[in-house]
Chains A and B, each alone.
Chain A
Amino acid sequence: MRFLLVEDNESLAKAVLDRLRLDGHVVDHAPDVSTASAFSGTTDYDLILLDIMLPDGDGRSFLKAHRENRKETPVIVLTARSEVSDRVGMLDLGADDYITKPFDFSELEARCRAVLRRRGGGSSNLRRFGNLQFDPMAGTLSAGGRTVALRNRELRLLEVFLNAPDRIFSKPNLVDRLFSYDEEGSENAIEVYVARLRKHLAGSGVQITTVRGLGYRLSLE
């Protein structure tokens, strides 16, 4: 997916960029309103992540202009301000959702997905691997004429594997990707989710293999 990140804080921006790119997304970064306007004028993004306090103006003015130009791209506002004061104004101006800093990447991803789903995100994001068809927006997995709906963490896990087929993911790595830090994620839980995914993948020609001592890997049979 193609993201536009509008964020003036360089370090934060870099961290977010790193993380999103790690997940296989294409991300452009704009440090201020004018750059953001220029980017959004020339490129069609799937989603815009918008900071509110920007050096050359308020993110809200960008949001307003964005909506007035009848741009349909969903916007998620990243705010560091109190929820209480900014909330209404931003939703009124046409933000699809907001998330307060600091945020958990898992939560950000979940929100992005929710927003895209709400907006009926394009089927261009449909991903294929072997006989497997995966629609991350709808959260469905199709193989051999059979379609199953995946639950959130199953979906997330599959996405992680699909982003880097044949790569070996260690259990701790997967824990970090699947669980936020305020909950107790365990490697046992990873085993449970892997087992569930394997059940869904049965007969699709795609399998998750255990690489003893290293982790798991998604590969064609």
Chain B
Amino acid sequence: MSAAVNVSGSLRRRLLLQLVGSAALLAAVLFFAVLGFVRTVAEESHDRILLASATSILDSVSVQAGEITADIPYAALSMLGNVSDDRVFYRIASPAGVLTGYADLPVAEEPVQPRQPLFETAAYKGEAIRAVTVSRRLAAQGAPVAVQVSVAQTRTGQAALLEQLFRSALFLGVGFFVLASGLAVWAAQSSITPLRSLTEAISRRGPKDLRPVTRPVPAEMSPLVLSLNSFIRRLQASLARSEDFIAEAAHRVRTPLATVRAQAEVTLMRVENEDNRASLREMIRAIDESSRAAGQLLDHAMVSFRTDSLERQEVNLTALARDLAERLQPVAELKDIGLHFQSDGDVSIKGDAILLQNAVRNILDNAIKYSGRDRTVRVRTVRNGGWGNIEVEDEAGGFAGEDTEALTRRFVRGANAGETIGSGLGLTIAREVAEAHGGRLIIENSQTGAGACVTLCFPLC
């Protein structure tokens, strides 16, 4: 009975994708931000060391006996070696020409102003270099001379450092992403947990459980629960209306029929004229027929209504059959029909007691109705393997080669129905009840051949 649901996407997956997507974006941003930051820091610190080196060389430049000389401090270059194993180049120059160092160093093509160090990136001897040039004015032979010191270093070490930082940033980013993804899975899981537990709570309910949902739910789910509760209320009202309608319909149809029938019967006793009596009898028969038909139609409606949402409680079939047999005893006696109940012990199944009663009642009614005077109807409850059976056996002649299956169809009546009042819905109701309980209805001729045996089989619980 589970209708297909029009599923479009998954809330959890969507949430997960969004969270993981955000995590990926944030991880990427984090990665590039960290990388950019460390790159800047690495470059700046490299520049500062180059500047320190150049400045210490510049400080060593002096004018001695009118000549510009330089006494490069050991530390000026060794400090660069302490940072990385990179190639180091330098040049000390004045407007007159290169004093010492690498004359062809391709930096500071233009004069550099004092206190304004010039940082450059260039290519030299087949490698990329970072260079700084600083300048200072000296007085040589009474004239100011601008001395320029350039220090350059290849960037292999820095590249290696950056590669390492890149890896660290990458690990950081990936680590962040993995962690955030884990959290995203957890978050997605836990955010749909209330939804899932609500679903479980509702699907665990019995078919008749139409209480409103009162369990606490997150605020976001309250509109859903509100609509659900409203829906439940409406369903409840609608169900109650249906039930009321059937009951009301029965009442409306049967009460006037009962009145007419009772009056007809009373009248019949007072009337002597044989023609009038015959008419009255016809009338009573007609009333019985229509009331029974109406009753069974309404019963059938109620049975269909109840089987749609079958309630399953433990029902003792033996007690149920015994009770029914007892209750129908007066009717049977009235017709001098023996109604006997037999049982080989309690047989219990899970089901709807009202429906089961109605089914057995219909079969018993049939058996009593079609049996002649001084016949016997036997009701038995039998445990047969995994099945619990209620058998009703009569001596009303049975079915002569008829399609017994057809008898359970709506409005089909047996060949022996004759003048007996009936709508043909009795066995249909019995079969529908049996099938709703996972069982079946078997109609066959009894072993003695004297009549029919109708068996209701239900799976044992």
Contacts and interface: CB of A to CB of B under 8 A. Distances in A.
Nearest to A177: B269
Contacts of B266: 15, 18-19, 22
Interface in B276-314: 277, 281, 284-285, 287-288, 291, 295, 298-299, 302-303, 306
Interface stretch (B61-69, B202-210, B226-234, B323-331): B323-331
Contacts of B274: 172
A106 B336 CA distance: 13
Contact of B329 (A9, A53, A102, A114): A114
Interface string A2-27: 00000001011011101100100000
Contacts of B178: none
B interface SS class: helix
Interface in B236-269: 243, 246-247, 250-251, 253-255, 257-263, 265-266, 268-269
Interface string A85-111: 111100000000100111111110011
Interface string B347-360: 00000011101100
Nearest to B282: A181
A191 to B, nearest CB: 14
Contacts of A170: 272
Interface stretch (A40-48, A76-84, A129-137, A200-208): A76-84
Which 9 pairs of residues, A with B, have the shortest CB-CB distance?
A15-B262, A101-B258, A102-B258, A110-B330, A80-B254, A12-B259, A102-B261, A114-B330, A84-B302
A97 B334 CA distance: 16
**Residue from A102, A103, A111 whose CB has the most chain B CB atoms within 10 Å:** A102
B344 interface: no
Contacts of B254: 80-81, 100-102
Contact of A87 (B257, B281, B357, B420): B357
A81 B419 contact: no
B302 to A, nearest CB: 4
B49 interface: no
Given A80-B250, A83-B299, A15 B265 contact: yes
A67 interface: no
Given A88-B353, A100-B254, A176 B334 contact: no
Contacts of B354: 84-85, 87-88
Contacts, number: 131
A83 B302 CA distance: 9
Interface of A: 9, 11-12, 14-16, 18-19, 22, 53, 78, 80-88, 97, 100-107, 110-111, 113-114, 151-153, 170, 172-173, 176-177, 180-184, 189
A162 B269 CA distance: 17
Interface residues of B, number: 53
Contacts of B258: 9, 12, 78, 80, 101-103
A19 B270 CA distance: 11
Given A15-B262, A111-B331, 12 more contacts: A12-B258, A53-B251, A80-B255, A84-B358, A87-B354, A102-B257, A103-B258, A105-B265, A110-B333, A151-B336, A176-B277, A182-B369
B375 interface: no
Contacts of A100: 254, 295
A177 B334 CA distance: 11
B322 to A, nearest CB: 14
A153 B336 contact: yes
